[in-house]
Amino acid sequence: MKTSPSTDNRKPRIALFAGSFDPFTRGHDNIVRRGLEIFDEVIVGIGINPNKQPMMSAEARKQWIEAVFALEPRVKVIAYDGYTVDAARYNGAQFLLRGVRTAADFEYERNIAQINRNLAGIETVLINTLPELEFISSSLVRERIEAGEDFCDLVPASAPLDLIKK
């Protein structure tokens, strides 16, 4: 007899989806939503890299993503520095969730996944980006913003655009 997820005693399946998310795009949004079909919870982890000068502050990125998922209680948003696997362990995630747009992305992610599995015992789940979203990147969004062009088609409709520094 098969039991429903709400009645079994299994440990919740939690994934960390890490990135800079500067800003969070429709592609990122789609990966999280598809991840929710696999996992009980997805933690969006905003990695803080002191060597990068982001367009948006970590707090603004966190607010942006929280607004996008305001109606989805299974999404949590954190900011972290240091190693992604350490952030995953600290937050109870057993998996890393990653989106893959190109063959080059796949090769890169495959290598990192093997390292994370061997060193930290954490599995990585790769989700292919939908073809209609694969051209979208945070870099493209930033380029459009810097050029004063419309970028709304590249970010989730519920994103609070007022958080963008102009």
Known catalytic residues are 28, 52, 101, 138
Tally the residues of the chain.
Answer: 166
